[in-house]
Amino acid sequence: MATQLPAFMKAMVLEITNTPLVLKLVPVPVPLPEQVLIKVIACGLCRTDLHIVDEDLKHPKLPLIPGHEIIGIIVRIGERVKNVQNGDYVGVSWLGYTCGKCKYCLRGNENLCSNAEFTGYTIDGGYAEYTLANEQYCFKLTEKYGNSSAAPLLCAGLIGFRSYNMINKKAVNIGIYGFGAAAHIIIQIANYLGKHIFVFTKPGDINAQQFAANLGAFWTGDSSQSPPEKLDAAIIFAPEGSLIPKALKDTDKAGMVICGGIYMTDIPSFTYDILWEERSIHSVANLTRKDGDDFFKILTKISLTTRIISYKLSDANQALNDLRNGNIQGAAVLSIH
């Protein structure tokens, strides 16, 4: 039995890059056999959305409905869908599809799949009243997560978690450069695991430093400062290439510098001595479904809180501007149903 669904839905659409999204009435999509139709409860905003709108990331599908931090409820299923049903709460993240056949998929690196589809980039996402998702790429959620507060978990949380997991498990002193949506989630997990978190913000961003301190940061300062102790590892969430040599200088021998973002400005050249002694630099690309399973498993043990700023769907441009201008402490979310 099909739930009574409207024929049309509101969506915020990117028609041309570098222009504001346009509020449009578009047909509610129909799921293919392996897809589900999701009534969107909320969709978080991610810095990647800005990189898509601003064309730092090339060749998005156009017109495009952005958004890859989707919380919703399934309202229609395709005929071959097996593992979820109408009424289930699900989360949808950036990884929208992988081929399962390329060499990356076959060796367990589906995050690097050559034929991947990305939600809100190469396929439509969650800045809309409804969205489609491939069944295999929905994370089944308990009702506890069926609300706006959970939306940032689907990218900020997941990519932050993948970045964090790249670090040597024995690392204690961990630097975080850029204290936004991802950092405010990961600091809570790291604290639970007994790590000392050193937070670096933009120079003068006292509000972000205070926010980090309230969430249990071991030390806070700005990116022009050196930490009081050498770091075992660093995670860079801010899209500033100049933070790579800075973080290398802040790390101890064998220190790992993890770049959590999809885009960074150019990295200034640096002398070999700051990389010497087995320091390393890694980027984090996308996520795997296993990351999601592991992440939601650890969330059953931690009482994690997210700080969100809610916007109406039609205010998505305002929300993107606030994110662009650094006016958000925590995570911006479109609260839709």
- Residues at the contact surface with Zn ion, assessed by CB under 5 A: 46, 48, 98-99, 102, 105, 113, 155
- Nearest to Zn ion of 36, 116 (CB atom): 116
Q: Which of 111, 109, 70 is nearest to 92 (CA)?
A: 70
Least distance (Å) between residue 46 CB and Zn ion: 3
Q: Rounded CA gap, 249 and 231, in Å?
A: 9
State the minimum distance, in angstroms, from the CB of residue 228 to Zn ion.
Answer: 32
Nearest approach in angstroms of CB 253 to Zn ion is: 33
The dihedral built from the CA positions of residue 280, 49, 69 and 195, taken in this order, carries a sign that is positive
270/326 with CB nearer Zn ion: 326
Q: Which is nearer to Zn ion, 163 or 209 (CB)?
A: 163
Nearer to Zn ion, 46 or 132 (CB): 46
Q: What is the distance between the alpha carbons of residues 293 and 137, in angstroms, rounded to a whole number? A: 11
Q: How far is CA 220 from the centre of its chain?
A: 23
Q: How far is the CB of 203 from Zn ion (least distance, A)?
A: 25
Nearest Cα to Cα of residue 151 among 66, 44, 48: 44
CA atoms within 13 A on the CB side of 83: 11
| Helix or strand run (H / E) with residue 188 | helix 181-192
Least separation in angstroms between residue 302's CB and Zn ion is 21
Closest CA to 285 of 102, 116, 56: 116
Question: By C-beta, is 171 or 181 nearer to Zn ion?
Answer: 181
102 or 267, CB closer to Zn ion? 102
Nearer to Zn ion, 31 or 125 (CB): 125
Maximum pairwise Cα distance, the chain: 66
> In the bound complex, what is the minimum distance in angstroms from residue 145's beta carbon to Zn ion?
17
Cβ atoms of 95 and 119 within 8 Å: the answer is yes
Residue 194 Cβ vs Zn ion, minimum distance, rounded to whole Å: 27
- Cα dihedral: 69, 28, 15, 12 (round 10): -50
